[in-house]
Amino acid sequence: MSDLDTTEHVLPGNAPGEDVIFELRGDADFDTAEMSLSIGPAHPATHGVLRVVLDMDGERIRDARPVIGYMHRGFEKLAEYRDYRQIMALTNRHDWLSGFCNELGVALAVEKMMEMEVPDRAQWIRMLLAEWNRVLNHLMFIGSYAIELGAITPMFYAFREREEIQYLLESATGGRLHFTYNQPGGIKIDLPKGFLRQSVEELATMRARLPDYVDLVLGNEIFQARTKGIGPLPPEVALAYGVTGPSLHAAGVPEDSRVTEPYLKYGELDVRVPTGDNGDSFDRFAVLLGRIEASLDIIEQIHDHIGPGPVNTKLPKIVKAPEGATYVRTENPLGQLGYFLQSDGSKNPWRFKMRTPSFSNVQALPYLLRGQLIPDAVAILGSVFFVVGDVDR
Amino acid sequence: MSYPVLARRDTALDDAETTALLRDRIGGGIVGEVAEYGELTVEVAPADWHRTIALCRDEDLLSFDLFDCLFGVDAGEEGLDVVAVLYSTSKGRRLLLRTRCEGGREAPVVASVADVYAGANWHEREAFDMFGIDFEGHPGLLPRILCIENFEGWPLRKEFPLASRVAKPWPGVKDPAEPDEDGNVIVREPAIGEAPGPSGLDEIIARQAREANPTSTPEVDADQGASGGADAANAASEEPQREEVELDQEVYDRLIGEGKSERIARSKAKAAFIKKQRAAAKAAEDEPAEQEREEQEGGEEPDVAATSTDEAEAPPSPDAEAGAGTEGATAAEAAPKPSIPDVDDESVAADDVDSVDEPAPAEASDDQQATVDEDVPHEPDVDDEAAASASARADAARADQAAAREAKANEASDDADDADEGLTPVPAGSPPPDPDDDEVAPAADATDGETEPIDADSTDEGAEPATDEIAEAAPEAIDEAAGSTDDATAVDDTDGAVNAADATDATDEAEDPDDEANDAAATTAESVEPVTDDTDEAPEASDEAAASPDDATAIDDPDGAGDEEDAADQADDVDDAPTGEPVTDDAPTAEPATDDAETDEPVTDGAATAEPATDDAETDEPVTDDAATDVPVTDDAATGEPVTDDAETDEPVTDDAATDEGAADNEPDDPVADGPEVDEPGPFGPGSAYPREDGSGPHGWRIKATQDGNVFHTEDSPNWRTAQADVWFDDVAAARAAGFAHWDPYVRTDLEADPVTSTTHDGPAPVGGTLPTDDGVEIPGRTADVDLHVDDAGEDGPPGYGALDVHQREPAVEPHGEGEDGDGPYGAGSAAPAEDGSGPDGWTVKGNADSMLFHTDDSPQFDDTKAEVWFASIEAARAAGFRHWDRSQRRDQSEQQSEQEGPQGE
């Protein structure tokens, strides 16, 4: 300890909060041992069984190697043994926090190949539930990210909201995580009576409570100190890695397939894409909150558009996609989800590739972690939003 | 680098321009392009793969800056493909690039693009992991990114089997990967534990699969059944039917010929083969006995049992194929019989019994004993009354059969008389136990005396001996008896009415018959299948006796209370006669005395019978009718379902066994209970009727109701076809009036009676009504009690709101009779609420028409409940068909109902 150079240098900076960042400067007399530190596979900051091997030089991260595959369940192989309706139940499991959005992608892909006309009401309902699912997902990360930074309370707030929304979705789909509510050509059954009214009420509740999160977390001094300037991700790097979703938006790229490649009826709505400036952890978190707000706006618009009508189309006994291949991309809560579907004309897909946002997001971790301090690693890990099931599939 | 808020699609190249540009820059490296389903795929030669992708990123007109993903695709024999998906955030365009790896399937290789897009690194690792594609220039494809380090094989290649599917076939009836008409199949043989996977992992999986599905030989099963009691038997019956057994080629060919699927045929053929083996084993054991019998019986007719089984089997029991282990087992038992023409009837019967027995463990015997005690007192009178009522109906129902029966009945009665005379002489072999013992000790005791202590065995033994006796004594009679038993069950299942005739016959003639009946019943009770055997052998004699006994027992059971006299008689008989064993003894011993033997035993049996009967009694209600009903049916029963039915009806043991089969659905209870009510207005009021023998309803009636779930099915119900109707209804209203709930929970409440307020909705059938919960808890998310203000938007409001809640409707209070005079909307003692929702003074019971629950003032939901109807008292609410909010209080209600129904039945 005596050798430790305790001189602290305040970094010059123009971003608020940056002035509280200290840099420990090791010199010749500051001996650091290189060591390899393994975070995970069951670290609470990793949302599943992800392992990150950090090559450390003292407190400094020289390199990081995410080790994935602990949750590999072979969904792509399993999908080749299932028909298109059964695949729905597979896909809402790889990212268990956005089950509805996942199965929506499959339905869109199958419908695209079968050239199905989906009734308007079904499309609106899909959008409605997808947006609620997005809010659900983001709330989870808002709560958990705060907990990873040492703030326990926001988690309770987030789960209070989550519970209400899950209750709402459960009343329509019967499921809390695995909804299996989509089917090729529409949705399984119509919304239950009174769902929209509940949705309206929940929308008001959420709107009223959203400022709490801003005050409680985003405006928190400690939170800002822990996240501002930490793990910046430049846009060109993010794009090269295929990082999408909140992390890409935080870097200033408003690439959101609801806007740039509108599916369903998103083209008729005003979809706002919040973006950040610095692409750091703080921005990523702020974008998450902004996306909740944007989703609530979308939900309100959907409430105004949704009308009566059928919710599904009559399906043949065996759903068969014609021969060929297609690629469907949807904006999932964590980023862009792509399904590549190649069919040989049978009832099972020949190849069903899941391009999951988490996989690409995690791939950028080494870039983000390199050169950072170990305490910041958690702040970075938590702010690159991913679900390990979505990484490993 | 600047990013526009929205992609500038107007600056993007279209498909043709894109390919033209690529062709211009790459030249011959662009092999082709496909534009389908809105996506442009450009095929690139592998040599130009890297160059093309770099161009796509760097060319300003393209500027694909977002690397979406890269993955392999199995192209079959032609090799392996690699597909890269690129996207341009500035142009809003997507491009799929596809190339075919060099090196075929053996050594596929393609250039890495990880240096172009950093994100390609992991995607290429994944493609290597899944397909074994080598990416030249990649910084490091190992370790495998998703699979474990030592994993062998390339999982996503088509030749790589899905190990779990190889080890265990798709558990459902239909496998999505099964061949379809297009011949698109993933061929797989469901043989267990033979996973031919390429890696050690597969072998491990396969071994585990083998261990999880041990091949069980029939001997093993038998041992378990003999020694293990209930648990072992159950376990045995639950074992999946997947052993590697040879097929019975005959059965297999026949089923295939009948158009069954290969899978079904295979399973049945296997079952048949096992059955044969068992039969052969059994035959070897019983050889001496068989010889004796052969002497007695002379030429045997073709096995009734066999034929019956065939018929029974004929309906391609879907359940069995469904794949459940138990079902499979039953199916197996059912199937084998036809294939065993050579085997002696007895042996077959024995086998059947065994199978039946296995499931029925010690519990059964216990039940029997317990029941016996209770029952004995009840049995007596029933016969007379039953006979009377039954005869009346029977005459009406089937005069023909009745006549025919009577002839036999007379004979039978003669026999019966003989039997009575013979009563005193107890069979030689049997040590007469104490009467009490007899009563209490059912078949089990008898069995004990003979050989093996185990219940299952006892059944077997009991069954056989009984058969012997019957064979000796009353050939035909037995047949009838057997039939009757079957009928009884059958009748129970279907209609009470039909079979009254025989019952009458039996009853009329029969005081004697009762005794005989007891015997028969006893036989039946003890050995379910033996009856079948009897049927097979059945000469002529004891028909009625046998038949009547069943009736008697049945009758006894139901009436329980009323028929003490007969019971007393029987009890006396019982005292005289030794218990179960005697039966067995008799059979061998006294051939001439056959009748006597029967009679004697009957007494004993009576005790035994009593048990089975008891079971029925417990379950059902007024069996009397059934008993009557049974006789006529006899013939039918004998052929078709007999074994199963008997089993169910007679002994609890049987029930267990039977449960597996489809027949299990017919629960004796309901039908029996129904029997008596068959009066004119219908069992459940006007517009209701019991199903006919074949389960069909009156012509043109399309609504099935099941008493199990208290639900009725209209034709659009997905379960309409499979539902076994306990009652048929003419229309929905009748079904509702009878208290049945609509199968569709969304339509539970009667929308027609309470029409929706808004009808702007012209889409599919409206989704409406609340989902009442049984426990009375109202789910806030469900909308029954939610404020309606949003709906007021109506047509003027935002387009969607009103439409969504189209189904909102007024509270379901019946419009008529808002009576203060006690004749309210739900009958006497009910009243519609006042404007403010309050009820008449002093009334403290609120009724919720949606959930059909009523809340007393001690209900936690009392204050929250909006009363749609007020009741003066709990009784009034119950009378109106409402259920108590407290689950524990509902039982009282049901008990009260059953008490009420009991006397009605008589």
Query: What is the full DSSP assignment across B817-878?
Result: ---SSSEETTEETEE---TTS--STT--EEEETTTTEEE-TTSTTTTT---SEEESSHHHHH
The A residues from 280 to 299 touching B (CB cutoff 8 Å) are none
Chain B residues in contact with A121 by the CB 8 A cut-off are 763
Q: Are A275 and A233 in contact (CB under 8 A)?
A: no
Q: Are B421 and B575 in contact (CB under 8 A)?
A: no
Q: Are A168 and A195 in contact (CB under 8 A)?
A: yes
- CA pair distance A267, B29, nearest whole angstrom: 37
Chain B residues in contact with A191 by the CB 8 A cut-off are 767, 804
Q: Please indicate if any CB of chain B lies within 8 Å of the CB of A73.
A: no
What's the pLDDT at A130? 92
Chain A residues in contact with B6 by the CB 8 A cut-off are 254, 259-260
- CA pair distance B568, B552, nearest whole angstrom: 13
Structure tokens at A235: 């846009």
The A residues from 122 to 141 touching B (CB cutoff 8 Å) are 124
Chain A residues in contact with B180 by the CB 8 A cut-off are 318, 346-347
Which secondary structure element, helix H or strand E, spans residue B221, and what is its range?
helix B218-238
Report CA dihedral (B229, B234, B235, B238) to the nearest 10 degrees: 160
Angle at alpha carbon of residue B105, lines to B100 and B110, rounded to 5°: 40
- CA pair distance A1, B207, nearest whole angstrom: 58
Which secondary structure element, helix H or strand E, spans residue B310, and what is its range?
helix B304-313
Phi, psi of B562 (to 5 degrees): -70, -35
* B713 C-beta neighbours (distance < 10 Å), count: 25
Beta-bridge mates of residue A139: none
- Could you write out the three-class secondary structure of chain A? CCCCCCCEEECCCCCCCHHHCEEECCCCCCCCCEEEEEECCCCHHHCCCCEEEEEEECCEEEEEEEECCCCCCCHHHHHCCCCHHHHHHHHHHHCCCCHHHHHHHHHHHHHHHHCCCCCHHHHHHHHHHHHHHHHHHHHHHHHHHHHHCCCCHHHHHHHHHHHHHHHHHHHHHCCCCCCCCEECCEECCCCCCCHHHHHHHHHHHHHHHHHHHHHHHHCCHHHHHHHCCCCCCCHHHHHHHCCCCHHHHHCCCCCCHHHHCCCCCHHHCCCCCCCCCCCCHHHHHHHHHHHHHHHHHHHHHHHHHCCCCCCCCCCCCCCCCCCEEEEEEEEECCEEEEEEEEECCCCCEEEEEEECHHHHHHHCHHHHHCCCEHHHHHHHHHHCCCCHHHHHC
What's the pLDDT at B823? 58
C-alpha separations of B449 from A19, B233, B580, B770 in Å: 97, 22, 9, 61
Q: Please indicate if any CB of chain B lies within 8 Å of the CB of A70.
A: no
SS3 of B804, please?
helix
Chain A residues in contact with B148 by the CB 8 A cut-off are 69
Beta-bridge mates of residue B134: B109
Question: CA of A35 to nearest chain B CA: how many angstroms apart?
Answer: 21
Chain A residues in contact with B160 by the CB 8 A cut-off are 77
Chain A residues in contact with B87 by the CB 8 A cut-off are 329
Q: Do residue B782 and residue A171 have CB atoms under 8 angstroms apart? A: yes
Question: CA of B721 to nearest chain A CA: how many angstroms apart?
Answer: 18
Residues 6+ apart with CB under 8 A from B147: A69, A72, B129, B155
- CA pair distance B311, B314, nearest whole angstrom: 5
- CA pair distance B619, B651, nearest whole angstrom: 12
Structure tokens at A179: 């909804």
Stretches in chain A below the pLDDT threshold 50: 1-15
Q: Do residue B66 and residue A242 have CB atoms under 8 angstroms apart? A: yes
The A residues from 4 to 63 touching B (CB cutoff 8 Å) are none
SS3 of B648, please?
helix
- 């002696």: which residue's tokens? B344
Query: Considering Cα of B263, then B269, then B270, then B275, what sign does the dihedral take?
Result: positive
C-alpha separations of B469 from A141, A190, B404, B538 in Å: 78, 65, 25, 11
Structure tokens at A58: 């003292």
Q: Please indicate if any CB of chain B lies within 8 Å of the CB of A277.
A: no
Pairing status of strand B830-831 against strand B845-848: unpaired
Q: Please indicate if any CB of chain B lies within 8 Å of the CB of A262.
A: no
What's the pLDDT at A131? 92
* A218 C-beta neighbours (distance < 10 Å), count: 18
The answer for B13, left when phi > 0, alpha when psi is -120 to 50, beta otherwise, is beta
Query: What ipTM goes with this model?
Result: 0.87
Chain B residues in contact with A329 by the CB 8 A cut-off are 68, 87, 94
Q: Are B249 and B337 in contact (CB under 8 A)?
A: no
Query: Considering Cα of B873, then B876, then B880, then B881, what sign does the dihedral take?
Result: positive
Q: Are B147 and B139 in contact (CB under 8 A)?
A: no
Query: What is the full DSSP assignment across B486-554?
Result: HHHHHHHHS-SSTTHHHHHHHHHHTTHHHHHHHHHHHHHHH-HHHHHHHHHH--STTHHHHHHHHHHHH
DSSP code for B36: E
- CA pair distance A225, B492, nearest whole angstrom: 79
Beta-bridge mates of residue A352: A341
What type of residue sits at position B585?
D
Structure tokens at A298: 């979308």
- CA pair distance B617, A104, nearest whole angstrom: 55
Q: Are B193 and B167 in contact (CB under 8 A)?
A: yes
The B residues from 19 to 38 touching A (CB cutoff 8 Å) are 36-38
Give me the total of CB pairs closer than 8 Å, taking one residue from chain A and one from chain B.
215
* Count of helix runs (H) and strand runs (E) in chain B: 34, 19
Nearest by CB to B122, from A124, A171, A359: name it: A359
Q: Do residue B122 and residue A363 have CB atoms under 8 angstroms apart? A: yes
Q: Do residue A308 and residue B177 have CB atoms under 8 angstroms apart? A: no
Stretches in chain B below the pLDDT threshold 50: 1-5, 173, 176-177, 185-198, 216-244, 294-295, 297-400, 402-404, 407, 409, 412-679, 754-774, 776-822, 894, 896, 898-906
Helices B262-285 and B325-334 pack at an angle, to 10 degrees, of: 60
Which secondary structure element, helix H or strand E, spans residue B713, and what is its range?
strand B711-713
Chain A residues in contact with B94 by the CB 8 A cut-off are 261, 327, 329
Chain A residues in contact with B176 by the CB 8 A cut-off are 81-83, 86, 347-348
State which residue of chain B sits closest to A346, comparing Cα positions: B184
What type of residue sits at position A348?
N
Q: What is the pLDDT of residues B742-787, one digit of tens each?
A: 877 666 665 555 444 444 444 444 343 334 444 544 444 333 343 4
Residue in B117, B165, B804, B850 to test binding to A, most A beta-carbons within 10 Å: B804
Q: Please indicate if any CB of chain B lies within 8 Å of the CB of A209.
A: no
Report CA dihedral (A283, A289, A291, A294) to the nearest 10 degrees: -130
Which secondary structure element, helix H or strand E, spans residue B712, and what is its range?
strand B711-713
What's the pLDDT at B892? 53
Residues 6+ apart with CB under 8 A from B780: none
Question: CA of A358 to nearest chain B CA: how many angstroms apart?
Answer: 12
The B residues from 769 to 828 touching A (CB cutoff 8 Å) are 769-770, 779, 781-783, 786, 790, 798-801, 803-808
Query: How many residues appear in chain B?
Result: 906
Q: Do residue B799 and residue A340 have CB atoms under 8 angstroms apart? A: no
Nearest to A143 by CA among A159, A122, A120: A159
Structure tokens at B107: 């050594």
SS3 of B45, please?
coil
Nearest by CB to A113, from B37, B165, B779: name it: B37
What type of residue sits at position B62?
L
Question: CA of A67 to nearest chain B CA: how many angstroms apart?
Answer: 7
Report CA dihedral (B398, B400, B403, B407) to the nearest 10 degrees: -120
